[in-house]
Structure formats: C-alpha cells, structure tokens
Amino acid sequence: MDFKTEFKPITVQPQLIEGKSFEMITEELGDHPFTEEQYPVVQRIIHASADFELGRSILFHPDSIRAGVSAIKKGRNVICDVQMVQVGITKQRIEKHGGSINVYISDPDVMEEAKQLDTTRAIISMRKAIKENEGGIYAIGNAPTALLELIRLVKEGIAKPDLIIGLPVGFVSAAESKEELAKLDVPFITNVGRKGGSTITVAALNALSLIAEQV
C-alpha cells in the first residue's frame, strides 16, 4: 500500500491547522452556556482533548477569568500539583510579568514529611505552597488529594489563592473534589465528573495567559 497517495493533509501550517480546528470546534459545539470571556478557555480544553462532553462540563466561578488574568499580569506565581502540568505551561507568558511556575511534590522535605505523617505528597505539597506563595494560581490536574487539601486550607482561611484551576482526573475522589471546589466562594475553573487531567489543566492556564496578552 502506498501511503503517500492515500492521505493528503488539508494544510501543514500550524497556525492554519489550529484556526481550522477552532472553527470545527465552534461549529460542532453549537449553542452553549459560556460567556464570551469564558469560551476561549473551553475552546482550548476541547482542542487539547477532542472531548466535547468534557468541554460542556466546565464550570466557572463568575470572577474566574478576571481573577486569573489579573493574577498573571500582577506577576503572581502558578502552583502546580505535578511536574506534568508545570512543563506544559507556556512559561514565557507567565514569567514576562514576574511570575514563576512552581511544583513542590518532589521536594525532599515534602517527601520526608509525607512519609513521617503517612499521607500523600500532594497534600504536603499544598501546605508548603501556601507558605511560600502569596495568592497565586493553583493548577491541579492530577491529584484530587491536593485539591481537597487546598479546599480545606481555603475554608480555614489559611490559603487565599487568586484562582484555583481544579481539573484532576480519576476514579477516587476526583469528581467529589471538584464538587467541593464548586461550592467555594473563591474564583475557580473546574468541571463535573471524573474527566480532566494535566493536559486539560495546562490548556485552561495557557488560555488565560493568552487572554492576558490581549487585554
């Protein structure tokens, strides 16, 4: 079989591919409940996942976009639950305003404390993060326990994040952690159900940093 004559891509230019993809997403998604400022985040989440069910399940606190863009432009740090989220973020758009992208889950002190307390590194990493960062955007795409701990710290008045992007994936506590996040009176972006993940969280954060470039 001659694969060279079997398939011809519409285009090999990345910008044109992305533009065509966004057109297809808008057409296929159809009517939706998202505001004009929220839609670019949903669009990039669908673009990253090719999952319209996931896209339709996204929930926004009314102040989430404004809070996220403001935090980026003020140079607030981004705190990730795992390295996979950290490496996917377009760091130049964060660092140009003075912010950094931090993850603590593999720090030796976090690992040691988690072992001593017989708990998860994700939980201890959130406790360390709030001590080392004023406000900030928390991007959680992998560990429901990190999100649940952050929610506890917010409820106790210890943590005061500018925005929580809580999109962990999984079967144990993932959906439940997002349900709890949606009850907070703190800016958040989350979704309903088990779906989510690091790439989805990255897509949401990168969408916000693009919006920050435009305003």
How far apart (Å, rounded) are the C-alpha atoms in residues 120 and 137? Answer: 21
Residue 72, pLDDT > 60, answer: yes
User: Would you say 207 and 199 are in contact if contact means Cβ atoms under 8 Å apart?
Assistant: no
DSSP string over the chain: --GGGT---S---HHHHHHHHHHHHHHHH-S-S--TTTHHHHHHHHHHH--HHHHHTEEE-TTHHHHHHHHHHTT--EEESSHHHHHHS-HHHHHTTT--EEE-TT-HHHHHHHHHHTS-HHHHHHHHHHHH-SS-EEEESS-HHHHHHHHHHHHTTS---SEEEE---SSSSHHHHHHHHTTSSS-EEEESSS---HHHHHHHHHHHHHHHHH-
User: Would you say 129 and 138 are in contact if contact means Cβ atoms under 8 Å apart?
Assistant: yes
Known catalytic membership, residue 47: yes
Predicted confidence band at 18 (pLDDT cuts at 50, 70, 90)?
Answer: confident
Give me the mean pLDDT over the 73-89 stretch.
Answer: 97
Q: What is the pLDDT of the chain when averaged over all its residues?
A: 94
Integer-rounded Cα Rg, in Å, for the chain is 18
Of the residues 32, 47, 61, 97, which is catalytic? 47
Predicted confidence band at 190 (pLDDT cuts at 50, 70, 90)?
Answer: very high
Give me the mean pLDDT over the 105-124 stretch.
Answer: 98
User: Would you say 204 and 41 are in contact if contact means Cβ atoms under 8 Å apart?
Assistant: yes
> For residue 1, what pLDDT is reported?
46
Structure tokens at 41: 């985040």
User: Which CATH number does 59-214 carry?
Assistant: 3.40.50.10230
CA 11 → CA 18, 48, 79, 130, distances in Å?
10, 19, 37, 46
Residue 34, pLDDT > 90, answer: yes
Question: Could you tell me whether strands 58-60 and 78-80 are parallel, antiparallel, or unpaired per DSSP bridges?
Answer: unpaired
Percentage of the chain lying above the pLDDT 70 cut: 93
Question: Could you tell me whether strands 188-191 and 163-166 are parallel, antiparallel, or unpaired per DSSP bridges?
Answer: parallel
Give me the mean pLDDT over the 197-215 stretch.
Answer: 96
Give me the mean pLDDT over the 119-145 stretch.
Answer: 97
> For residue 64, what pLDDT is reported?
98
Predicted confidence band at 16 (pLDDT cuts at 50, 70, 90)?
Answer: confident
Q: Where are the domains of the chain?
A: 59-214
